[in-house]
Structure 1
Amino acid sequence: MPAPGIPALRAWIAEREGVDAERVIVTTGGAHGLALAVLGLLDAGDEIVVDDPVYPLFLRTLDLVGAHPVPVRVGAGGIDVDELERRLDAGLRPKALFTVPTFQNPSGGTLSDEHARRLAGLAERFGFMLILDDPYREAGFEPGAIDVRSRLLDSERVVAVNTFSKTLGPALRVGWIVVPTALAERFVRLRNRLDGLTSGTLQELVLRIVQRPEYSEALAAAGVGYGRKARALQQALEARFGDEIEITEPSGGFFLWARLLGEADFERFHELAQDEGVFFQRGEWFAVDDDAHLRGTLRLSFSEQPVEALVEGVDRLHRAWRRLRD
């Protein structure tokens, strides 16, 4: 079996991405794709710009080669391209940049097409590679609002990482990367040195599922369902917390990002919330280094629980907040 993946699945992915199949490598999930990208592009001591807040497991992936992360803030509009350009003009010279461009984890921000093009232009101008991790792209709340294709694939400076984990299920451990044509052979050789190939049985299973007409229909229905849950969660938070909370309204993905206002012991708040039967991810856990700007932020997941449980969870979260503040 070929290391880049079975030809039929590579062809399906290539058609969906609008690229030549030789640029597609099937991976054992998204994390494996990120590891390949890091090992294929970075060396010890290299600087790489990363989202701040960032998907924390990516920082562990950088430990594989000893690369140094340089944080650039992420907001509702994705990674701050203006800040990045200022720092590049001031002398920053990264080897690569990592971002989640669509429904970013944890902030939910989405990079506009205009800013994505500016990002590609900066990569060309300053000579760095872009690692675009886009696993939530097909989890938009409005069907058709987000293109199913990875962005910027016409650039020779983009490695796009994706996975079926957010659409078919994480236990399948099947994903893919799209690499520049000039780097395809290098990445295949790297893949051969690591684990050889992804399970052919799982690749065939994924192929049979995605080729069915119900696949696209199921994705659209799931996105609508996630949107319903996200709106219910946001409305419950606004009703309970009022002007004590700021919310970044999500338009897709699995998470809602919020900030509780005022001075408080947020570590104690996290403990009290668990006493009330609610667990959330503290924003500080997604910091690259200094976490001061993320204190009071929290990531709330809405993908799994029904609406009723989400509303009840907000009630419990508010009880913990009142206990802390009273």
Structure 2
Amino acid sequence: MTDPHADRLAGASTLLATLPERRGFGDATLIRPVPGSIDLGGGNPSVDLLPTELYRDATHAVVTDPAFGTALRYSAAQGLPALRAAVAARERVDPERIVVTNGGAHGLALAVLGTLDRGDTIVVDDPVYPLFLRVLDLVGGVNVVAAPVTADGIDVDAVERLLRDGLRPKALFTVPTFQNPAGGTLSTEASAALVDLAERFGFTIIADDPYREVAFPGVVVPDRPRFRDTDRVVGVNTFSKTLGPGLRLGWLTVPESLRPAYTKLRNRLDGQTSGVLQSVVARMLADPRYDAAVARAGAGYEPRARALAAALRDELAGHVEVRDPDGGFFVWARLDVGAEDSARLFDVAQDAGVVYQRGEWFAAGQERFTGFVRLSFSEGDPETLREGVARLATAWRTVRTPSVARQER
């Protein structure tokens, strides 16, 4: 009997024919929303906290400018000088080191293609942002080694032990600020130690930092000067969390020595980012209202995060471990549920009208994160978030009751 997929893939490249299907995180086939479901699984910013007025003003200024027609032309692969200069000023680097991208995922793809070859080894956060592992499929055959994430971000001591034991990675991937999903933040001292290891052992740090500006009031994100002054860090960032993922605009911060090569790589893929969007965002960054809008968003997310964490402690008292986040969009919590019930809980919770991300989907190594859940607070008001947790708790009690009964027999 012939393979029904064979004709469909006839003439496909090895890459196209062997890309694995999505499983777990991001797999829409696993989501079964019922009417009135509360979605605690997504990573969208809240529409009401996005600076839509700035968008309108900047867009009007761009399209009514007599020079607007130039924005409709082909533009340089590296990005428009005005936007690169604005981003560079915020990154505190030379504008020549900035390469504009079509969002964070595009930046990750460029960083992976520019760093790794088949057979190379990469150390990654554990738990890890799952879509990064899928980006590695573009290269194929990459050996992934997990390093634990703590409240202080990736465990640099654990990375050093791996290196002392003989591991020689080509790269290391981490989300250094409000890590997705666990929420940890890498300190100035830890980031310097990580760069020291990268320079000593010859690997590249891919630092994916989309949540850096989504800090709660009073929270100071550590400065990481060693990330800027080394040729061992490729920084990936995006406006998706501050201006919305529909914008599709981000940037790389690359070592000066690699900038020409990254520009050539960009030229051979998609060539450029929309000149119109770049012009609009360059005007927004120059507007003094932009930083105030970002700060307002952080202040708006904080009570939602507190409401979600408090609801977990109230509804699941004594049966949940949760750390209050300092920024970002997520609460990472561990429920008192066994491995055999974790998958069932996800299904029962959906039937109860709440969707979340299972902890197992973030595993990169031996730790499976059974019983962990990633819950998003970014889009819900406190009342909705509390109701979502109440539904999750109801599902948890439904699933756990038979398990408790079995243990008592």
> TM-score scaled by structure 1?
0.97
Instruction: Check conservation: 1:18, 1:149, Cα contact below 8 A.
Output: no
Does residue 298 (structure 1) correspond to residue 373 (structure 2)? The answer is yes
Aligned equivalent of 2:144: 69
Q: Aligned AA for 1:229?
A: R
Report whether the alignment pairs 1:4 with 2:78. Answer: yes
Q: How many residue pairs were aligned? A: 325
Task: Look up the match of 1:275.
Answer: 351
- Residue type at the aligned position of 1:5: G
Q: Does 1:286 align with 2:366?
A: no
Q: How many Å apart are 1:248 and its aligned residue?
A: 2.2
Matches within 5 A, 1:157-172: 157-172=232-247
CA RMSD of aligned residues (A): 1.4
| Percent of matched pairs sharing the same residue | 59
3-state SS of paired residue (2:318): helix
1:146 partner amino acid: V
> Alignment partner of 1:224: what SS?
helix
Instruction: Provide the C-alpha distance between the structure 2 equivalents of 1:281 and 1:33, rounded to a whole number of angstroms.
Output: 24
Aligned partners of 2:341 and 2:400 also within 8 Å: no
1:65 is displaced (CA, Å) by 1.0
Which of residues 259, 268, 278 in structure 2 aligns to 1:193? Answer: 268
1:41 to 98, 111, 115: 115
2:331–2:375: 8 Å Cα contact kept in structure 1? yes
Give 1:149 shift: 7.8
Could you tell me which amino acid in structure 1 is paired with residue 291 of structure 2?
Answer: S
Equivalent position of 1:310 in the other structure: 385
Gaps of 5+ in 1: none
Residue 95 and residue 196 in structure 1: after superposition, are their counterparts in 2 closer, same or farther (change >3 A)? same
Amino acid at match of 1:90: D
The residue number in structure 1 matching 2:170 is: 95
Structure 1 residue 249 and structure 2 residue 324: aligned?
yes
Please identify the structure whose Cα radius of gyration is greater.
2
Q: Per-residue displacement from partner, 1:127-170 (whole Å, max 9, x unpaired)?
A: 10110000000001125612688861111101000000110010
Structure of higher RCO (CA pairs closer than 8 Å, 6+ residues apart): 2
Q: 1:208 to 1:147 in 2, by over 3 A?
A: farther
Match of 1:237 among 312, 336, 344: 312
Gaps of 5+ in 2: 1-74, 402-409
In 2 relative to 1, CA 138–213 (structure 1 residues): closer, same or farther, beyond 3 Å?
Answer: same
2:118 is the counterpart of 1:53: no
Shift in CA distance, 35/156, structure 1 to aligned 2, threshold 3 Å = same
- CA-to-aligned-CA distance 1:96-121 (integer Å, 9 cap, x gap): 10000000111111111111111001
Structure 1: how far apart are the matches of 2:242 and 2:188?
23
Normalising by structure 2, we get a TM-score of: 0.77
Offset from partner CA, 1:151-204 (integer Å, 9 cap, x none): 611111010000001100101100000000111111111111111011111111
